[in-house]
Amino acid sequence: MTAELGNRSSGLSRLGLPSKIIAVGLNYRSHARELDMAIPEEPILFLKPPSAVIGPDEAIVLPAGVGRVDYEAELAVVIGKTARNVTPEAAAEYIAGYTCANDVTARDLQQRDGQWTRSKSFDTFCPLGPEVAPEAPEPEALVELLLNGEVRQSAPVSDMIFPPLELVSFISGVMTLEPEDVIITGTPPGVGPLAAGDSVTVRIGGVGELINSVEAAPNEADW
């Protein structure tokens, strides 16, 4: 049985809107190789605000005056009960399930700012859903992104440097995780730009398929 995720206006149905979204950078070996970067010794963490969340079939809005905006397909972990300093062995007890996420990023701003907060935080920059699968995906399950029906990202869950249970343990040692909080676990290689009119799909084996459209922000004169 799966729980559905609702749209932005109603929050996440059954689970509610997360109090925080904890994201993990550079968590696929193949992505680190693609960028010619060293494998991290510890998870690299940053936050996305709850106001960035949208649901399936809603539009990712490209902000006015912002340059390149990228897709990043990710497996999301939904927390089921309060977790603080949990061990990897016990972490599964604190997970409500798994869903699809897209860590949308204003790449020009990320490079300009030298950090990630602004580039990751625009409204609509965290599509989630559509359902929460109670079981973890198999190691060979693929995390994929399709842009207008063409596969642009694809890597197995086993390519993660820090798997979900380790992430729950590590993050719960930094901050208390509350029910409905979401951890997005990093993206495979192949990140690329979005354009108005695109259809973008995050597809994860055993978890589901999240589809969103892309549109430009309305001209201020039209508001």
Instruction: Please state, in angstroms and rounded to a whole number, the distance separating the CA atoms of residues 6 and 15.
Output: 9
Kindly tell me if the per-residue pLDDT of 2 is higher than 70.
Answer: no
Q: Could you tell me if residue 222 is inside a domain?
A: no
CB count within 10 Å of CB 129 equals 27
Residue 206: the pLDDT is: 97
Query: Which range (9-23, 70-84, 122-136, 179-193) has the least confidence?
Result: 9-23
Residue 60: the pLDDT is: 98
Residue 134: the pLDDT is: 96
Residue 6: the pLDDT is: 44
Q: Which structural domain range is residue 140 located in?
A: 3-217
The enclosing H or E element of 120 equals helix 117-120
In the predicted model, what is the mean pLDDT of the chain? 92
Dihedrals φ, ψ of 133, to 5°?
-85, 130
Instruction: Please state, in angstroms and rounded to a whole number, the distance separating the CA atoms of residues 3 and 130.
Output: 9
Q: Could you tell me if residue 223 is inside a domain?
A: no
Kindly tell me if the per-residue pLDDT of 115 is higher than 90.
Answer: no
* Total number of domains in the chain: 1
Kindly tell me if the per-residue pLDDT of 148 is higher than 70.
Answer: yes
Q: Could you tell me if residue 101 is inside a domain?
A: yes
Q: Could you tell me if residue 16 is inside a domain?
A: yes
Q: Could you tell me if residue 48 is inside a domain?
A: yes
pLDDT-based confidence at residue 15 (cuts at 50, 70, 90): low
Kindly tell me if the per-residue pLDDT of 12 is higher than 60.
Answer: no
Token pair of 32 as six digits? 């680190």
Q: Which CATH number characterizes residue 74's domain?
A: 3.90.850.10
Q: Could you tell me if residue 204 is inside a domain?
A: yes
Residue 10: the pLDDT is: 35
Kindly tell me if the per-residue pLDDT of 110 is higher than 90.
Answer: no
Q: Could you tell me if residue 89 is inside a domain?
A: yes
User: Which residues make Cβ contacts (< 8 Å) with residue 172, sequence separation at least 6?
Assistant: 83, 84, 85, 86, 91, 94
Q: Could you tell me if residue 211 is inside a domain?
A: yes
Report DSSP state, residue 197.
Answer: T
